[in-house]
Amino acid sequence: MQLLSLRDAASIGDLAAIARRRMPGFAFDYLDGAAGDDRGMRRNEEALAAVLFRTRHLVGGRAQTAVEFLGRSYNLPTGVSPMGMANMLWPGMDLVLARLAQKVGIPYVLSTAATTSIERIAEAAPDVAWFQLYVSRDPAINEGLLKRAWAAGIRVLAVTVDVPVPQKRNRNHRHRFDLPFRPHPRFLLDLLAHPRWAVETLRAGMPNFENFVPYAGLARGGSITEVGRFLQAQGKRDLLWEDVERIRGLWPGHLLIKGVMDAEDASRFLRIGADGLWVSNHGGRQLESAPASIDVLREVRAAVGPHAPIVFDSGVRTGESIVKVRALGADLAMSGRAFAYGAAAGGAAGAQKAYDLLELETRYTLLQIGCPDINNVSVSILREGADETRLLHLDPVAVH
């Protein structure tokens, strides 16, 4: 079997195959895997694939992919979802993806569990950086993180609400890749089999949870294992509605709630002050038997009306999926894995390749379905009979 080069990669799947070759097994499976045996992740992709288009022709026009969201224009209705420990996947990945997002004009969302600081990301992506918050048990940490994000110029905050307990990911467990991480012989053999990753990691320096280092109280910052143990202990497992209201009071910018998978919850989040919603099952990484995010999106849009801002992720790997997500009610169709596969496959050039593939596929899809402007996409571009469990008997909702 011929090994693909970055230049020959024709899809995000090809970038994933290249990334698998370049990355140690524990790192690739951390990126590529999900809760349990990955059924939830596969369900996300299969559900998106099952949505079919109506194809119309003879409409003319050039494809237009730019959209407005929360008062800012983006060149494509996608962006980089938050990813913890990205610099462990490939050295410097956080900054590679932040710089890509700034260059091409799409959002980049920094995770609380990132391995690059809020301040460095905001400097690299001053126009497009958002921050994602995992709420800590210590209110002082939450307040400190929000103050740092605001001082750095970040104006969009996404509060994640779908991690009440640590997840069980079987692929991670088989590699013994859990927090707190402890090196073992099989881990060292994996590194020896991927010398480029090991050398570049040594050159870049061992990654750490940079945003939590100031709060961990460890001598000289502490190792990633020590800070990771502190971060894990700080996870607020009893997150309640009043905690979200408290964060709303602390944050003067736009507030999104990430992890919305219920229409009633969606409406309540807006009532307590959220500016928008992020429909997501965490890419299938939290609950293996969760419904596909795309199956919930239509219900959420119907519940909150046509104007509430909605972000979506989970299963987005193609430009066709981006268009489908817009048609079913979301403003932005975000992806973490698609961009991470690209960065791991080829650094900055690989990240650019991932974006170029998604952008090209989006433009081609718009022209093929006879709806050149992404802002005119609605449920009317989909075949009502394509998947009766998702589309039949639901009145179209004009969302854009």
**Residue positions annotated with a catalytic role:** 282
Q: Is 149 exposed, middle or buried (0-12, 13-18, 19+ CB in 10 A)?
A: buried
Backbone angles phi, psi at 307, to 5 degrees: -110, -15
Backbone angles phi, psi at 75, to 5 degrees: -80, -15
Our CA angle for 372, 378, 382, nearest 5°, is 90
In sequence order, which residues have a C-beta less than 8 Å from that of residue 374 and are 6 or more positions away?
63, 64, 65, 66, 67, 77, 323, 326, 362, 366
Q: 362-374 in b/e burial notation, b at 16+ Cβ within 10 A? A: bbebbbebbbbeb
Task: Say whether the peptide bond before residue 180 is cis (omega within 30 degrees of 0).
Answer: yes
Q: How far from chain centre, in Å, is Cα 313?
A: 6
Q: Which residue has the tokens 């020590």?
A: 226
Q: Which residue has the tokens 């089999």?
A: 193
Residues in the chain: 400
d(CA 295, CA 355): 25
Q: Which of helix, strand or coil describes residue 73?
A: strand
Under 8 Å between Cβ of 9 and 345? yes
Give the start-end residues of each E strand in 180-282. 254-260, 276-279
d(CA 77, CA 71): 14
Which tokens is 280 given?
A: 């997501």
Sheet holding 108-111, edge to edge: 108-111, 129-134, 156-160, 254-260, 276-279, 310-312, 332-333
Under 8 Å between Cβ of 328 and 297? yes
